Amino acid sequence: MVRLGELERRVMDIVWARFGCELTGRDVAGQLPGYAYTTVLTVLTRLENKGLVRHQRDGPVHHYSSTASRESYIASLMHDALDVSSDRGAALVRFAETVSPAEADVLRRALDHPGPAQPSRRR
C-alpha cells in the first residue's frame, strides 16, 4: 500500500470527504488555500498513478474521485503492517490489547458477523 505525503493526505482527505462524488481540480484546490491550482493538479495526478484516485475528462475539465474509501485504505495499511511481522498472531493480540472497550466491541461484532463494514460511532 502506498504511503501518503502531507499534501497528498490533505488532498485525499478532501476527496474522501466526498466519497462517491466527483470533484474537479478547482473544487479540491479551492479547499487548499496557499497552494497553486497546478500544484493540486500535480498531486491529483500522482494520486492517480498510485491508484488512489481516478479521473474522467469532460472537455477541458477533469473530474476526480477516490477509487476506495478512507476505511479501505486504512485497512490496507493495517494489512501491510501485519505483513512485516514475523508473528502476525502476536501482532494482532498486541493490537487487541491496545484498543478501547468500544473498539473491541466493534471488532467482536465484525468477527461474529462478517459482511459490509458498518459505520463506526464516534466516541
Q: Once rounded to an integer, what is the mean pLDDT over residues 62-73? A: 94
The C-alpha atoms of residue 13 and residue 118 are separated, in whole angstroms, by: 20
What is the pTM assigned to this prediction? 0.79
118 — pLDDT class (breaks 50, 70, 90): low
- Indicate if the pLDDT at residue 47 is higher than 80: yes
Grid coordinates given for 87: 508473528
Please report which confidence band the pLDDT of residue 1 belongs to, taking 50, 70 and 90 as the band edges: low
Q: Are 105 and 121 in contact (CB under 8 A)?
A: no
Residue 123 pLDDT greater than 50, yes or no: no
